[in-house]
Amino acid sequence: MTPQRKIFLGVAAWVTVITAAHMATNVDWKVLLNDRLPESERKLNVAYIPVT
């Protein structure tokens, strides 16, 4: 394997891992999927702040 190919594969693997980690930790899938449901079936998004 050429050095260029090694570097390319290493960068690609790194980008894949970071992207997967970002999507797992920073994307709220529950909200994304809920927003795609028909309006009548959608759960209500309720905002709050951490005060009683």
> Per CB under 8 A, does 3 bind other proteins?
no
Q: What is the DSSP string of 21-38?
A: HHHHHT--HHHHHHHTS-
Q: Which stretch binds other proteins (CB under 8 A): 4-12, 13-21, 27-35?
A: 27-35
Burial class (CB in 10 A: 0-12, 13-18, 19+), 34: middle
Q: How far is the CB of 27 from other proteins (least distance, A)?
A: 14
Candidates 5-13, 18-26, 30-38; binding stretch for other proteins (CB under 8 A): 30-38
Cα gap 43→36, rounded to integer Å: 11
List residues near other proteins by CB under 8 A.
Answer: 30-31, 34, 39-40, 43-52
